[in-house]
Amino acid sequence: MALVGAPGGGKSTLFRAVQATSVRSAALAGSRHAYEECAVRIGLDEARLIDLPSLRSLRSLEPEDRATLKYLLWGDRPAPIARHDPEGVPAPFGPPDVILQVVDATALERHLELTLELLTLSRPLVIALNKMDEARAKGLYLSSNALSRRLGVPVVPTSAARGYGLSQLFKAALAAVRAGVAPAPATSEHLRASLAPLTEALRDADIQTAFGVSPHFLVAQLAQGDRYFMDELRQHIPGQVAEVERLCAAASVALPRPLREELHAERHHRAASLAEMAMRPDRVGEGRDLRYWLDELFLSPRWSIAGSAAVFAAVLFIVFGVSAWLDSVTAARLTEWIAHWQPQSTASVVARAVADGLIGLVGIVVPYMIPLVMLLVVLEQTGVMARIAFAVDRGFHRIGLHGAVAVPFLLGLGCNVPAISSVARSARGRERVAASLLIAFVPCSARSAIVLALAGKYLGGLAVFGIFALAMVVIAVLGKLLKQRDPVAEPGLVPEIPPYALPRWRPLLRETWLRTQDILTIVLPLLVAGSVVLALLSHFGADALINAALQPLTQLWLGLPVVLGVPLLFGVLRKELSLLMLYQALGSFDIDRYLDPIQLLTLLLFITFYVPCVSTFAVMVKSVGRRAALDSVLLSVSVALAVSGCLRFALLGAQWLFD
């Protein structure tokens, strides 16, 4: 699929809206103008999309622009007349199966002249009537159906900057390729009669073989005296030059002006007539309802990022606001009920651990996961999430992902388990693995609670912000590294912007259940097992041996008390109990009595980047395989040790330098 268009039509904007995570760019042979090319997934199909340099016309081109025309005509299979060109083939892929012309709806007449020229190529053509939102803002109403009927090719209204109509455009392009229909360009009766002798002469087999182009196109080029095609005719079939020149001169005799001027006037008149037929004035600003202003917020290049950030902030504000109340009426009360249970025997220790595991599950699912998942499903059903994914798509491309994974990343702020399950449904191949690895570094509610509880109390709000900001930096850097390690680009995704709609309760509850059912099948057994393991370690006194074995890491590298070895290592079994394990290990709730600010910051950084929990690992094994899950564990441990240890030594050095 070749994207073609005049400057200012939005062709490159459309390409960027659907491009893959990695794009190949190179100059066309014999030109300084560059093309961009990538794979695009359209439903179950995949196509190569080429964004060609802009063209105002196909006639009498400069050498710089002629390379684009050569690609449209022959691709990497040049006709005999072009095989002697010293620059070689313009691009290393075949001619397009379909041409997508991007037309500026606010300057329709000027762009339709190029449309009429493209029709002479006799290739399937689909028109993207772009910038429809700007046309409406100027009070112009365009009938794409009327224009399609007159031209004989599909015309799809789009707004590339906002993602509108792109899904329909590429579906129309696929249909055009499969149909293989290339309608002949319409010509006025007097021109058709005047050019009939020239048309008949150019049907000569030698000429057709030498040029390898559509007869309509060759007639138009030679009738207008195109220098390149006349020179090639003179070089390869010199015996026909005089006859072609004679027939062109004869055609001018019956016309009111020279043939070249008449062809230009005819094309200009037809473009003006088509534009006038398709366009009618309308009232400026008509239809600016709530949906219009929501699109201004979520899809306009100026406000889309701010609008997306506002939605994310609102979701987190609501979830953390609701979660405090839900936790107080569920997990907190359950904890109070068993607070006086002090087990003595091994059996009672196991029973208490099972109870702790079940309460821990309630503390994750009810206050955090269910509200967050329900809000995200509401955003999807209303159509807001599709707009956010489109807005952040280019940013995610920088780390080798598509904007569609923005939803799982936000979900990871509540719990990494449903986030990775969501990635398994929405991504595939390299993107699924990379997104799963990166989501493991998104601070979940358990890790965020520890950071807020300790850093907020002892280090201040600036430290809390710094830890979360550092997490974003680490995710971005790792994404870049993963992209470089595995540069195979995932195909671009054609965005589909659904209409706004109100959420419905039954689909909302069903989708919420589908996204949280892994909790019962995967997370629950692991939470209970983790609680039992930790309880038995403490009951039999094995934690002292483990602390001694971990001393080189905890004390020498991280500079933490030796007794924190077990909470750091086995916090992966029950991350939401890590804070309680810290209190128990230190024997006090006043952590600042045992840890100075540098030690506390080191501890929090390690907890933030260390393996989220064993449940996340289990879901990752199911979603991306055992090898990728083990890679995730190794990566998390390495990053946690490197970031926390290096920052500790940097802060100690700064402290020594300024003291």
pLDDT, tens only, 150-203: 999 999 999 998 888 999 999 999 999 999 888 877 788 888 888 888 888 888
What is the bridge-based pairing of β-strands 34-42 and 45-51?
A: antiparallel
Are 616 and 478 within one domain? yes
Contacts of 117 (CB under 8 A, 6+ apart): 57, 58, 59, 220, 267
Query: What residue type is 612 in one-letter code?
Result: P
546 shares a domain with 652: yes
In a domain, 515, yes or no: yes
Given a cut of 90, whether residue 647 has pLDDT beyond it is yes
Q: What is the pLDDT of residues 78-88, one digit of tens each?
A: 888 888 777 77
Nearest to 91 by CA among 40, 46, 48: 48
Alpha-carbon distances of 74 from 89, 93, 158, 208, rounded to whole Å: 9, 10, 29, 13
Q: Give CB contacts under 8 A, 24+ apart, made by 185-189.
A: 185/116, 185/119, 185/120, 185/216, 186/270, 187/266, 188/266, 188/270
Please report whether residue 266 resides in a domain. no
Q: Comparing C-alpha atoms, which of 604, 647, 655, 640 is closest to residue 464?
A: 604
User: CA dist 430 to 394, 433, 492, 544, 637, Å?
Assistant: 18, 5, 13, 42, 22
Closest alpha carbon to 420 in 405, 399, 403? 405
Write out pLDDT tens, residues 342-391: 787 888 888 887 887 787 777 767 776 788 778 888 888 888 888 887 78
Give residue 115's pLDDT.
94
From the list 79, 80, 82, the residue with the least C-alpha distance to 29 is 82
Token pair 């009618």 in the structure block, residue: 280
The predicted pLDDT at position 492 comes to: 67
How many other C-beta atoms are found inside a 10 Å radius of the C-beta of residue 649?
A: 13
Residues 245 and 153 in one domain: no
Above 80 in pLDDT, residue 457?
A: no
Q: Which two tokens stand for residue 248?
A: 């062109």
pLDDT-derived band at 576 (thresholds 50, 70, 90) equals low
Cα(534)–Cα(351) distance, rounded to whole angstroms?
A: 13
The pLDDT of residue 588: 64
* Residue 159 DSSP symbol: B
* Domain range enclosing 367: 295-658
Strands 492-493, 34-42: parallel, antiparallel or unpaired by DSSP? parallel
Q: How far apart are CA 464 and CA 470, in angstroms?
A: 10
User: Residue 575 has what pLDDT?
Assistant: 65
User: How does the average pLDDT of the chain come out, rounded?
Assistant: 84
Predicted confidence band at 637 (pLDDT cuts at 50, 70, 90)?
very high
pLDDT of residue 281: 61
Q: Are residues 420 and 405 in the same domain?
A: yes
Query: Contact 335/380 with Cβ under 8 angstroms?
Result: no
pTM for this structure? Answer: 0.73
Do 244 and 332 fall into the same domain? no
In this structure, are 181 and 220 located in the same domain? Answer: no
At residue 398, φ and ψ (nearest 5 deg) are -65, -25
Q: Which residue has the tokens 């449209």?
A: 72
Angle between helices 626-658 and 461-485 (to 10 degrees): 130
Task: Identify which has the larger pLDDT, 490 or 424.
Answer: 424
Q: What are the angstrom distances between the C-alpha of 132 and each of 141, 160, 421?
A: 9, 9, 38
Task: Read off the pLDDT of residues 238-266 as tens digits, 9 standing for 90 and up.
Answer: 888 888 888 888 888 878 888 888 888 88
Count of CA atoms in the C-beta half-sphere (13 A) of 442: 25
Tell me, yes or no, whether 249 and 155 share the same domain.
Answer: no
Domain contains 509: yes
Q: Output the pLDDT for position 405.
A: 78
pLDDT at 265: 87
Average pLDDT over residues 477-482: 88
* Residue 547, SS3 per DSSP: helix
CATH code of residue 278: 3.40.50.300
At 93, list the tokens.
Answer: 């892929």
Q: Which amino acid is at 324?
A: A
Q: Cite the beta strand spans of 382-503 per DSSP E.
A: 492-493
The one-letter amino acid at 360:
G
Place of tokens 């080429």: 50
Do both 76 and 205 map to the same domain?
no
Asked whether residue 267 is assigned to any structural domain, the reply reads no
Percent of the chain topping pLDDT 90 = 20
- pLDDT given for residue 301 in this prediction: 74
Residue 333 within any structural domain of the chain: yes
DSSP class of residue 564 equals G
pLDDT of residue 286: 52
Instruction: Confirm whether 245 is domain-assigned.
Output: yes
pLDDT at 522: 67
Do 310 and 204 lie in one domain? The reply is no
Q: Report how far residue 153's alpha carbon sits from residue 132's, in angstroms, rounded to the nearest whole number.
A: 18
In this structure, the answer to whether residues 449 and 593 fall within a common structural domain is yes
Examine residue 507 and state whether it is found in any structural domain, yes or no.
Answer: yes
Our CA angle for 497, 501, 506, nearest 5°, is 120
Average the pLDDT over each of 415-424, 571-580, 612-621 and give the range with the smallest value. 571-580
Q: Each residue of 585-624: pLDDT tens digit? A: 776 667 788 888 999 999 999 999 998 888 788 888 888 8
CB 364 within 8 A of CB 522: no
pLDDT, tens digit, 9 for 90 and up, residues 503-537: 888 888 888 887 777 666 766 777 777 778 777 87
Q: How many domains in the chain?
A: 3
pLDDT at 3: 96
Torsion 225-231-236-238 (CA) sign: positive
Tens digits of per-residue pLDDT, 94-143? 899 999 999 999 989 999 999 999 999 999 999 999 999 888 888 788 88
Percentage of residues of the chain with pLDDT beyond 70? 93
On the question of pLDDT at 439 being above 60, the answer is yes
pLDDT value of position 175: 95
More confident position, 605 or 487: 605
- Tens digit of pLDDT for each residue in 281-324? 655 445 567 777 888 788 777 788 888 888 877 877 787 778 77
In the prediction, which pLDDT does 487 show?
A: 63
Token pair listed for 157: 């209204």
Q: What is the mean pLDDT of residues 43-70?
A: 89
pLDDT digits (tens, 9 = 90+) for 533-572: 777 877 787 878 888 888 898 888 988 888 888 878 877 7
Is the same domain home to 78 and 217?
no
Is 276 inside any structural domain?
yes
Is 500 found in the same domain as 640? Answer: yes
Query: What distance in Å separates the CA atoms of residue 439 and residue 560, rounded to the nearest whole number?
Result: 27
